[in-house]
Structure 1
């Protein structure tokens, strides 16, 4: 297992490819976006992740990592493509299916295929079916435990943006092989670079494990977000409330925010709901609470705007979490769109981690502003994401400006 292909060079795939290349393996990273390939081939990352540029410069420079739009023969294929949801919050595996079609012509006996994309329960079995259909000459392993000519396993990523390079190496991994031999080979592969422990189970348990991890977070965030709405109605400072409540030795309430974003926590619980719609009652409700939080934030800002004649509203932060450029499923974007569509006033956007706003905001005529100009021009300053660059602005505000802090920046 010396030649590795990683399909999908996003927030997980690219750091994974770089880390395994740095462990001594020969890695080719595959992505359909030519601009992404050109950027990586120059030794730079197209995403913001601490330390990634330096690592890419090293592994691309010494030839252990190459980036390409074309798949080639390898010993191991790691699939790390997006898994969005379709209308009705149903999981969409079109990118996984496309990856299966791309690698199928290059498969040979003894190959190991690992699905890392967060997926609904049964996705690894579906991947096996797609590969079997594309390569009838190969005996693809079955979930009943019968071995085949190739090996398949599911191993979900468990990384936090901003700490990916460290967590790819240090975090424990859950490995669910279609067969016992598939699990055994997957453990051997990850041991090249992973220092955390590899825990072996079956593919379905590994798939639900990943979904459960993110659903646990979603449910707990929903509790905090609901508390913030209740506290506001009752005239209570939710941050003081949570701080005091957390003095209980067995209570640890999370901090509320604008909502929940990112490709994982805002999406994965719906995969459980889709698979068990009658049973997943708390998980569904948590998703609804968190999805509704941006609407509440919009209403609070709109209420502040009533005290002005055509106010200027500075929306500070678009990323779904502090100090990253990740805008996927960001509730802050939903707030900005809502304020613009309701014509609350002149909307200014400030997101220091991106050079261009997403199309959904550009088509509304919005532009990205720097921190100083946004704060100076605004009548209302809405902190939506707690970027480090925003700390200190509260002490510099001129009298008369209104503040709405949706992310606890002032705490």
Structure 2
């Protein structure tokens, strides 16, 4: 009888220990990564831009914080990556003899290089897969760059994932400016693509709560930034398979060296100690589209009421309640030649779970559709032709409908001063009150 009790107690202890192991949240750790220089063989890329791309790529990995990095000077061509993976697998074979030098296209790796690489956990091989820079329509330089970064697991030579980055730039002035514009777009897109690779998406846990805020493990030591979002994960093991579900969303409001602070936007379950959290990779800017009624207070409009449509990019990664934004909008009035406004400013937000309220203000420049057509046909400069300068200010309230979408209502007032207002008509001062609705897509 006693032996049966002992067996039963032992079984219960084993089950409890197994359940405890299963319930333990996963917390990401830094990964060692070796980064090759950008491979560009077969593409006629100006040499003065290559160093810039290499620096930008390495800076992205450094800024992400989740890697321990060492660099390699060699450059691969796109066709060399598969051959390199094959050799990595062969190195694991006991009867494989590595030559003193191994050539991949135009790149040479020595035995010492391979030994250095095998010491890392992951290898990153960036290569240019497409580069096109040409003078188009006899008016501007346009450059398109496609770069792939292959991530290889050294342990078994398998491909962990590929980050595909496509950027473009244009300039009426010089080819170099168009190329530089395409290069400048690489960092933001690349950090998003890397964070999307499942092996590099951060997992962490809740440490506890203080005054309604949630404290989570990991901070700047792993590259967490204000404005990052983390999903609340619940799940269990079913027949050896993980059954995980997203049940909530946290927004990072402050970041310390090892601990970050977040607020709960929504959650179907209590967010308590050791709750599993998972990073939601985003590009770092939300896109809002909106439509307003426009009540005229000044200007040669066809009527006292018009309509306006616009789009706004709101920077999120690196920001919490004060965020920069940029907007473009068009007033649908033919007498004013369809005014086009560009606005740059900042907004202040307050979060109450799914509800968000705030205000924004910015400086604006304006032109119109006719002047824009003339500029497009005649200008040889990258500087825009503005006919007006002014201000824009407003307030809004939004509601988080899903993890990736908000709807909002907003009011706004714009006033533009004409540079040559004496010409009257479309060049005169104008302004108006606005009220409208829109949708924000969390990119």
How would you bin the TM-score normalised by the shorter chain? under 0.3
Structure 1-normalised TM-score? 0.27
Structure 2-normalised TM-score? 0.25
Whose strand proportion is higher, 1 or 2? 2
Whose helix proportion is higher, 1 or 2? 1
